[in-house]
Amino acid sequence: MLTGWQAEPFALLTSVVLAAATVGYLIGVRRLAHRGRRWSRWRTTSFVAGVIVVILALDSGIASYDRSVFYVHAMGHIALMTAGPVFLALAAPMTLWLQASGRSLHRSLLKILHNPVFELATNPILVASLSYFVMLAYFLSGFYAYSEKHPLVLDLSNVVFVVSGCLYWWPVVGLDPSKWRLSFPAKLGYLATGIPITTFLGLALISARNSIDPSVHTVSDTHAGGGALWILGELYTLGAMGAVLVQLMHSEERAAARHDRRMDHEKANLEREIALQRSSRRQ
């Protein structure tokens, strides 16, 4: 499945755009290094991994194979809406370029972040609602079968999946600045709302009496794909919730350490004042 790369214009354009984004990211890392500042290797690795996941899902042999085997398509869908976007969000590309850019580009990036349209487009409630709607409509409305017969529609759908996935995961695992800073309980609630949606979609496909696309897939293949969407979707959600809990514990540990340092500082100041008072009395 990793062989047989796509020769379609859209697939090639996708690879070029993603390769250019990777080069731009690495240029930002290099700029920071020239300024004597280090950028996390984990973030760089995460960005490259995200790009690789998206390219494999869109352009490799998987992209052609998933048109005949629905459960492969389901795994590719998870890669586009979840795996790739999670890696890209963890890479914090906006933060990188805010630190690596010159004044003019820095101001331009800040204008984008604070633009009302951008802030509306990244509203977590709106993003989550649209992501769930896109996923349900694509698989349960007959749009999937239509897109399979119209390659351009399928290509544009994949772009929507990646963009909606990035916007969905940004508030949860993203490290870039945003107006919508979710608390840890809010992140858990945000993720929890997706569990019944994924369950409903999975059960709807598993219990379907007809194939999602009778001209291509069998009923059993449809059931297998529904199971893949359900299981993989829930595993990613539970994994993300676990990551949020780990972040919460680390946050509490850092808060406790800051409290201890503050108390030690106040104690040292008090002891210093007492020592000065004693010294003044002796004099």
Running DSSP on this structure, what letter comes out for residue 114? T
Say how far residue 4 (Cα) sits from the centre of its chain.
28
Running DSSP on this structure, what letter comes out for residue 80? I
Q: Which residues contact 91 (CB under 8 A, 6 or more apart)?
A: 25, 43, 44, 46, 47, 50
As a whole number of angstroms, the distance between CA 191 and CA 33 comes to 36
For residue 191, give Cα distances in angstroms to 29, 202, 228. Answer: 31, 17, 19
Q: Is 166 exposed, middle or buried, given 0-12, 13-18 or 19+ CB atoms closer than 10 A?
A: buried
Q: Which pLDDT does position 14 carry in this prediction? A: 79
Copy the structure tokens of residue 11: 């697939």
pTM: predicted TM-score of the whole model, two decimal places:
0.81
As a whole number of angstroms, the distance between CA 44 and CA 33 comes to 13
Running DSSP on this structure, what letter comes out for residue 138? H
Helix (H), strand (E) at residue 67: none
In tens digits, what is the pLDDT along the chain, a chain of 283 residues?
Answer: 555 555 567 767 877 888 899 999 999 999 998 888 889 899 999 999 999 999 888 877 666 666 678 888 888 889 999 999 999 988 989 999 888 888 888 888 888 888 888 888 889 999 999 999 999 999 998 899 898 888 888 888 888 999 999 999 988 888 788 888 888 888 889 999 999 999 999 999 999 999 998 888 889 999 999 999 999 989 988 888 888 888 778 665 555 556 556 665 665 666 666 666 666 666 5
